[in-house]
């Protein structure tokens, strides 16, 4: 089972080392990890996607909490969050396929951000299933480069 | 569901911060240590830390610096000081090799929850990351073996960081904290502000059980027929021995401690079953595993205690009280987890028992008569025992004799291995902080420097390192610190010329094939003759002579008592090199990963290679 954990941390030297090290040292696997600033410059927010059963999750949460630089943890279940991922990719095109790629992109509300004679750079934002579907469709044309942000999440209800 | 799990309240109450005069970073550090009440530091200088040593020389009147001869000796000494006192031990080393030599001790303090503040010099800020002379990224190296660590990049942060370091090291579940200070930060000057409060929004060490959970514990006790207490180092760190004793004397529940918990409950008490685990008493292991209610207090279900975890205490209701939330449900999922300071929980339970009309008695326990009978039968059938000999000194005999001659009134430290287990088995500990041993990490070489640290803290107490020949030589250089500083700790080496515990496993699991476990001189093997010491290697009497430390070798049992008394009476460092046979095994033994029913109590039965871990 996959969980999305949102971790508010002190924006201090070495905090990523501590968290990444805790995961490897305790034998937990990270699916994706995203770090960014928050409104408060003294904190950062990490969104971590972890695979594991409830026991693993309980330990991940407790071990994270034990770190002095971790301020607050939220463990989200899927229905309680809005989650998004941003993907940039380069897709092969030629004069015959260019229109089709752009058309599919339109349906998915993707953006063309760079145009070359034989490829297009595309930006797409969405939840995991949307992105997976889009990647599957683009795969047919040939994806030559790809970069994903990993998941970022926000609770549906503010507390 | 979102679960906010940390509070953001300030952790101590405020007074006005105190502004100092202009001074260097190194001077601020020393001033902060003094303000934290530190009077002892073990420190070995080098290029990146000498500026701090210069500052130390100016405050020698209130903060005494002890010079170990190896940084590992320094950190183990600081641990010994900390374990004996409950205060944070403080150690300092230079960058690079100085810092990496601390690593074993820091890892040791982490696993045994010892409050430790380690200070390291670092190369100047502009040299960091350049592969400078004696540069190691000690922040990253230690990140996974500390409770917390700091790299100080601004001289104005030193005072706050030192305050936080001591607070983190000593509160909640104690542990090691490292402060890495670049040399130019030590030299830079500022007018420091000494904070009077700590404000760490991500750290709340105060945990108190709620009454409902504690009432539930009382309910479980009421329904139990054969309850047991399994308690550990948390009782000692939590200073909860008095509360535990009262709790036991109100409830009549028998007690088994872990190795870390030895001394937290008097082992001479009639409800003490001594300690449990791989080499613990058969009766403690039987009782804990067959209990219908197990109160696990200040423990972490370590594999050396539980053996096969799924089989451990599987018939009983388990209550787990601990201050570290991450220990709860980590190794063993329990029926009733209680996150609490153990001193608070036990005191509160005692109040509830008082209200429930359970008076405290010191003897004549009758709460669980059938259970007591069962335990008494195990106790009778399976005491700690050994085959004594006429003239050859058995290691167990030597330890028992030491117990008798000291009347149990001593601080004992150990190395790691067979002698460590025998010390725990054959010496009875009635007070907390009297057995200092590397339990979690199992660091050979711990015993002697730890004894020096404890002796510095308690100069009027008898402090004795019961050591093995293998462990002792790992920090033998600290004979110099002992002699030069006049630290009158004693050593009893149980010298069998072998790496005994590994050898025992070779006997058990590898058909006695020897894999480099002989520590003597293979060109001239000492065969165990009591008349001819030729071949004993190394010659500890001569080694000690070089360090100007008195040392006596004892071969015959008849000579041991007098020699031991000379050691105890000595007013200077003293080493007693006791020759013992290498053929002894530590028993009982529950092989790793097995259950209490698989215990080996006597004999030399051989298991197949690959069993256990």
The verdict on whether B133 is a catalytic residue reads yes
The C-alpha atoms of residue B309 and residue B328 are separated, in whole angstroms, by 14
DSSP string for residues in B534-597: TT-SS-HHHHHHHTT-EEEEE-BHHHHHHHHHHHHH-SS-EEEEEE--TT----SB--TT--GG
Q: What is the pLDDT of residue A81?
A: 85
In tens, the pLDDT along B338-372 reads: 999 999 999 999 999 999 999 999 999 999 999 99
Q: What is the 3-state secondary structure (H, E, C) of B187-210?
A: HCEECCEECCCCCCCCCCCCCCCC
Residue B216: is it exposed, middle or buried by C-beta count within 10 angstroms (0-12/13-18/19+)?
middle
In tens, the pLDDT along B239-262 reads: 999 999 999 999 999 999 999 999
Give mean pLDDT, residues B523-550: 95
Residue B608 has pLDDT above 50, yes or no: no
Q: What's B605's DSSP letter?
A: P
Q: Locate the chain A residue with the closest alpha carbon to B168.
A: A68
In tens, the pLDDT along A75-91 reads: 887 668 889 999 999 99
Q: Half-sphere exposure of B146 toward its Cβ, with a 13 Å CA cutoff?
A: 27
Q: What is the pLDDT of residue A156?
A: 83
The C-alpha atoms of residue B111 and residue B175 are separated, in whole angstroms, by 8
In tens, the pLDDT along B22-51 reads: 999 999 999 999 999 999 999 999 999 999
Q: What is the pLDDT of residue A2?
A: 83
In tens, the pLDDT along B122-181 reads: 999 999 999 999 999 999 999 999 999 999 999 999 999 999 999 999 999 999 999 999
Residue B604 has pLDDT above 90, yes or no: no
CB-nearest to A68 from B140, B144, B202 is B202
| Centroid of chain to Cα B211 | 32
Q: Locate the chain B residue with the closest alpha carbon to A64.
A: B326
A19, A44, A66, A77, best to mutate vs chain B, most B CBs in 10 Å: A66
The answer to whether B29 and B55 have CB atoms below 8 angstroms apart is: yes
Strands of B435-436's sheet in order across: B435-436, B411-414, B463-468, B490-495, B574-579, B550-554
Return the number of other C-beta atoms located less than 10 Å from residue B565's C-beta. 12
In tens, the pLDDT along B489-509 reads: 999 999 999 999 999 999 989
Instruction: Please identify which residue in the block is written with the tokens 């405020």.
Output: B14
- Does residue B538 have a cis bond before it (omega within 30 degrees)? yes
Q: Say whether A74 and B8 touch across the interface (CB within 8 A).
A: no
Look at A154 and B555; give whichever has higher pLDDT: B555
Residue B14 pLDDT grade (very low, low, confident, very high; cuts 50, 70, 90): low
Residue B539 has pLDDT above 90, yes or no: yes
The C-alpha atoms of residue B495 and residue B578 are separated, in whole angstroms, by 6
Q: What is the ipTM of this complex?
A: 0.88
The C-alpha atoms of residue A45 and residue B380 are separated, in whole angstroms, by 60
Mean pLDDT of chain B: 95
Tokens in use for B192?
């420091």
Q: What is the pLDDT of residue B610?
A: 42
CA distance readout (Å), B561 to B131, B216, B421, B573, B578: 56, 52, 22, 18, 11
Residue B9 pLDDT grade (very low, low, confident, very high; cuts 50, 70, 90): very low
The C-alpha atoms of residue A22 and residue A29 are separated, in whole angstroms, by 10
Q: Locate the chain B residue with the closest alpha carbon to A22.
A: B144
Residue B511: is it exposed, middle or buried by C-beta count within 10 angstroms (0-12/13-18/19+)?
exposed
Q: Enumerate the residues of chain B whose CB falls inside 8 A of the CB of residue A74.
A: 2-4
Q: Half-sphere exposure of B441 toward its Cβ, with a 13 Å CA cutoff?
A: 22
Q: What is the pLDDT of residue B361?
A: 96
Residue B10 pLDDT grade (very low, low, confident, very high; cuts 50, 70, 90): very low
């Amino acid at each position: 089972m996959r969980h999305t954990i949102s971790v508010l941390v002190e924006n201090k030297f070495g905090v990523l080392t501590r968290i990444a090290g805790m995961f490897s040292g305790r034998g937990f696997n990270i699916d994706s990890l995203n770090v960014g600033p928050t409104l408060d410059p003294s904190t950062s927010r990490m969104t971590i996607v972890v695979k594991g059963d409830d026991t693993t999750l309980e330990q991940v949460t407790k071990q994270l909490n034990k770190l002095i630089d971790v301020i607050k943890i939220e463990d989200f279940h899927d229905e309680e969050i809005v989650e998004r991922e941003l993907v940039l990719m380069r897709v092969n095109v030629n004069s015959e396929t260019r229109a089709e790629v752009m058309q599919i992109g339109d349906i998915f509300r993707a953006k063309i951000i760079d145009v070359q004679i034989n490829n297009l750079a595309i930006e797409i934002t969405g939840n995991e299933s949307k992105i997976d579907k889009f990647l599957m469709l683009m795969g047919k044309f040939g994806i030559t480069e790809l970069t994903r942000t990993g998941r970022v999440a926000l609770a549906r209800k503010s507390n | 569901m979102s679960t906010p799990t940390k509070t953001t309240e300030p952790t101590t109450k405020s007074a006005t911060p105190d502004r100092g005069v202009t001074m260097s970073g190194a001077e601020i550090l020393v001033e902060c240590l003094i303000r934290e009440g530190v009077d002892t530091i073990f420190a070995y200088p080098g290029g990146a830390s000498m500026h701090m040593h210069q500052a130390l020389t100016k405050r020698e009147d209130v903060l005494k610096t002890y010079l170990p001869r190896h940084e590992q000796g320094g950190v183990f000494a600081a641990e010994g000081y900390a374990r004996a006192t409950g205060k944070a031990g403080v150690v300092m080393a230079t960058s690079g090799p100085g810092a990496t030599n601390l690593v074993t001790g820091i890892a040791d303090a982490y696993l045994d929850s010892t409050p430790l503040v380690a200070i390291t010099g670092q190369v100047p800020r502009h040299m960091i990351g350049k592969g400078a002379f004696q540069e190691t990224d000690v922040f990253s190296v230690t990140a996974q073996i500390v409770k917390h660590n700091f790299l100080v990049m601004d001289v104005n942060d030193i005072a706050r960081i030192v305050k936080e370091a001591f607070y983190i090291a000593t509160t909640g579940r104690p542990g090691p904290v490292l402060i890495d200070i670049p040399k130019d930060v030590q030299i830079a000057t500022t007018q420091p502000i000494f904070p009077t409060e700590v404000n760490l929004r991500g750290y709340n060490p105060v945990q108190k059980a709620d009454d409902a959970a504690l009432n539930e514990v009382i309910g479980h006790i009421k329904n139990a027929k054969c309850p047991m207490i399994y308690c550990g180092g948390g009782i000692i760190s939590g200073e909860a021995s008095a509360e535990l004793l009262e709790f036991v004397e109100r409830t009549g529940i028998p007690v088994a401690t872990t190795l870390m918990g030895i001394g937290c409950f008097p082992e001479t008490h009639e409800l003490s079953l001594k300690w449990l685990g791989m080499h613990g008493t058969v009766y403690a292991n039987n009782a804990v595993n067959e209990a219908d209610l197990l109160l696990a207090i200040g423990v972490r279900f370590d594999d050396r205690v539980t053996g096969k975890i799924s089989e451990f205490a599987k018939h009983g209701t388990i209550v787990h009280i601990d201050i570290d939330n991450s220990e709860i449900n980590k190794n063993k999922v329990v029926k009733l987890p209680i996150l609490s300071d153990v001193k608070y929980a036990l005191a509160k339970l005692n109040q509830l028992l008082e209200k429930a009309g359970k008076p405290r008695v010191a003897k004549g326990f009758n709460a669980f008569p059938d259970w007591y009978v069962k335990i008494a039968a195990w106790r009778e059938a399976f005491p700690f025992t050994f085959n004594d000999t006429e003239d050859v000194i058995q290691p167990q005999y030597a330890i028992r004799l030491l117990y008798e001659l000291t009347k149990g009134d001593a601080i004992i430290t150990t190395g790691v291995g067979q002698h460590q287990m025998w010390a725990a088995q054959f010496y009875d500990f009635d007070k907390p902080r009297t057995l200092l041993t590397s339990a979690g990490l199992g660091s050979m070489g711990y015993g002697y420097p730890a004894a020096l640290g404890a002796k510095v803290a308690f100069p009027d107490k008898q402090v004795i390192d019961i050591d093995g020949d293998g462990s002792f030589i790992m920090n033998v250089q600290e004979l110099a610190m002992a002699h030069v500083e006049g630290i009158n700790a004693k050593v009893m080496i149980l010298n069998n010329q072998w790496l005994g515990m590994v050898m025992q496993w070779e006997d058990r699991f590898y058909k006695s094939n020897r894999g480099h476990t002989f520590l003597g001189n293979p060109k001239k093997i000492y065969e165990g003759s009591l008349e001819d010491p030729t071949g004993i290697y190394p010659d500890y009497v001569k080694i000690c002579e070089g360090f100007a430390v008195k040392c006596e070798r004892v071969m015959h049992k008849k000579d041991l008592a007098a020699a031991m008394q000379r050691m105890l009476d000595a007013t200077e460092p003293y080493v007693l090199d006791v020759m013992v046979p290498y053929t002894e095994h530590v028993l009982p033994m529950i092989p790793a990963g097995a259950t209490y029913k698989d215990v080996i109590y006597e004999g030399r039965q051989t298991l197949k290679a690959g069993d256990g871990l």
